[in-house]
């Protein structure tokens, strides 16, 4: 069963989402923002301004998930103007960011992360993997720019929606199997094997 705003609010008080915004925020200080916070059947998390990296080609190399070369990811500059703080994701490129909020998932819940329509209409595809039962930390966010134009990715504003799915408690949750991405810090986490 998908969990609603009442359940999300109750669980946020127990540490599910931190910091937690109990309503959907569309404006801050009289400026429009890409919405974040609680919705009817989900929660829109924000992109942290602390770390955003873009894949870059290093001639003669191949990106290898079993032997990831951190030089294939280049930190990108955080820009600021009257519209807010943002990173630029170049056309036909791929970037990694990190969630502003920390999650602590109960052992009978799995979280599916879905891209926001505002970004989807700009050609941005969010490919965020699920947060499994008993996972804790800051999600690494995978974003692809499928368009032929560079795109702003706004920091401290909504980036993906989380949907909380309840099932029976599993025999072995993420914490019990000592998952390799448990307790991710607030920074981009590279591929691990």
Which residues are known catalytic residues? 142
* Nearest by Cα to 139 from 48, 19, 31, 3: 48
Region of 107 (left: φ > 0; alpha: ψ -120 to 50; beta: rest) is: alpha
Dihedral (C-alpha) 50, 56, 58, 62: value to the nearest 10 degrees? 100
Q: How crowded is the C-beta side of 151, counted as CA atoms within 13 Å?
A: 23
Indicate the SS3 state at residue 186.
Answer: coil
CA distances from 180 to 2, 73, 177, 189, 193 (A): 26, 20, 9, 11, 8
Structure tokens at 75: 């930190």
* Nearest by Cα to 43 from 76, 74, 19: 19
Residue 169 φ/ψ, nearest 5 degrees: -60, 135
């Amino acid at each position: 069963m998908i969990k609603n705003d009442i359940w999300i609010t109750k669980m946020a008080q127990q540490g599910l989402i931190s910091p937690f915004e109990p309503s959907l925020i569309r404006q801050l200080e009289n400026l429009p923002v890409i919405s974040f916070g609680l919705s009817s059947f989900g929660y829109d998390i924000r992109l942290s301004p602390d770390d955003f990296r873009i894949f870059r080609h290093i001639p003669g190399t191949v990106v290898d998930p079993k032997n990831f070369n951190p030089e294939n990811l280049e930190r990108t500059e955080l820009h600021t103007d009257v519209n807010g703080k943002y990173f630029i994701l170049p056309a036909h490129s791929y970037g990694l960011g990190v969630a502003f909020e920390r999650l602590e998932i109960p052992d009978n819940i799995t979280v599916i992360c879905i891209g926001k329509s505002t970004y989807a209409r700009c050609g941005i595809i969010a490919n965020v993997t699920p947060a499994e039962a008993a996972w804790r930390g800051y999600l690494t966010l995978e974003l692809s720019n499928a368009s032929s134009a560079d795109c702003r990715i706004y920091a401290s504003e909504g980036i993906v929606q989380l949907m909380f799915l309840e099932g029976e408690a599993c025999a072995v949750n993420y914490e019990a199997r000592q998952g390799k991405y448990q307790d991710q810090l607030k920074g981009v986490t590279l591929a691990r094997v």
